[in-house]
């Protein structure tokens, strides 16, 4: 499993090269190579740094790997020299971050259009229906930009079931109409 991740890294052109391991066919007396002992199904990961084990299992969780695949990942990591463990930890944390996606800020109540039920085919249906004042019916918002919107309609995964008009009552009203009446 780790070899596939490293192959992916090399294909991207990153400057870190994989560790070259001597071939078992080479003479151990002349190369200093000692064949690794066979890995048991239950690898003792106590020899690996806890941060590396945590990063590796996080990637496995994001992929939905089985217990056998998780053990294979730990076995692959155990085959690398200890001086590469820091680099592998950083690499696997980067992969884990990419697989898990951005974490929402607890204090930030904004939502992205991509999680709104009114966002379909790169178009805001609330704007198309004329529900958003001072907004073109052809409005095409950036789907991953957090915002507060009157037309927000929560999807099934949003624990806060309020619509945009209830969630952000200060947004309500036609801004242009309000400006005209105050002049």
- Which carries the bigger pLDDT value, residue 180 or residue 45? 45
Would you say 76 and 69 are in contact if contact means Cβ atoms under 8 Å apart? no
Does 106 map to a domain? Answer: no
Q: 124 and 47 in one domain?
A: no
DSSP letter string, the chain: -HHHHHHHHHHHT-SPPPPPPPPTTS-HHHH---PPPPPPSS--GGGS-HHHHHHHHHHHHHHT--HHHHHHHHHHHHTS-GGGHHHHHHHHHHHHHHHH-PPPPTT---B-GGGBTTEETTEEHHHHTT-STT--TT----TTS-B--TT--B-TT-S----HHHH-GGG-S-HHHHHHHH-
Per-residue pLDDT reduced to its tens digit, 2-58: 656 655 555 554 444 444 444 445 545 555 555 444 443 334 445 899 999 999 999
- Which carries the bigger pLDDT value, residue 80 or residue 46? 80
Q: 167 and 138 in one domain?
A: yes
Of 67, 100, 133, which marks where a domain is finished? 100
- Give the C-alpha separation, 11 to 9, whole Å: 5
Q: 11 and 69 in one domain?
A: yes
Does 152 map to a domain? Answer: yes
Q: 82 and 40 in one domain?
A: yes
| Residue 12, pLDDT score | 54
Quick one: tokens of 20?
């070259």
Q: 52 and 140 in one domain?
A: no
pTM: 0.39
| Residue 43, pLDDT score | 41
pLDDT at 170 over 60: yes
Quick one: tokens of 101?
């996606």
Give residue 12's domain range.
2-100
Q: 138 and 93 in one domain?
A: no
pLDDT band for 179, please (50, 70, 90 cuts). Answer: very low
| Residue 144, pLDDT score | 86
Residues 6+ apart with CB under 8 A from 24: 33, 35
């Amino acid at each position: 499993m780790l070899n596939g991740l490293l192959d992916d890294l090399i294909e991207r052109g990153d400057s870190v090269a994989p560790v070259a391991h001597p071939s078992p066919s080479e003479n151990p007396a002349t190369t200093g190579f000692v064949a690794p002992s066979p890995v048991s199904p239950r690898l003792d990961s106590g020899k690996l740094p806890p941060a590396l084990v945590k990063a590796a299992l996080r990637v496995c969780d994001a992929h939905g790997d089985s217990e056998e695949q998780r053990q294979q990942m730990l076995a692959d990591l155990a085959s690398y020299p200890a001086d590469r463990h820091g680099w592998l930890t950083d690499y696997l944390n980067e992969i884990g971050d990419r697989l898990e996606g951005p974490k929402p800020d607890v204090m930030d109540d904004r939502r992205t259009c991509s999680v709104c039920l009114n966002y379909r085919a790169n178009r805001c249906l609330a704007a198309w229906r004329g529900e958003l004042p001072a907004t073109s019916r052809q409005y095409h918002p950036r789907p991953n930009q957090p915002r507060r919107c009157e037309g927000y309609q929560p999807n099934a995964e949003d624990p806060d079931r309020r619509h945009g008009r209830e969630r952000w009552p200060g947004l309500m009203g036609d801004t242009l109409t309000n400006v005209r009446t105050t002049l």
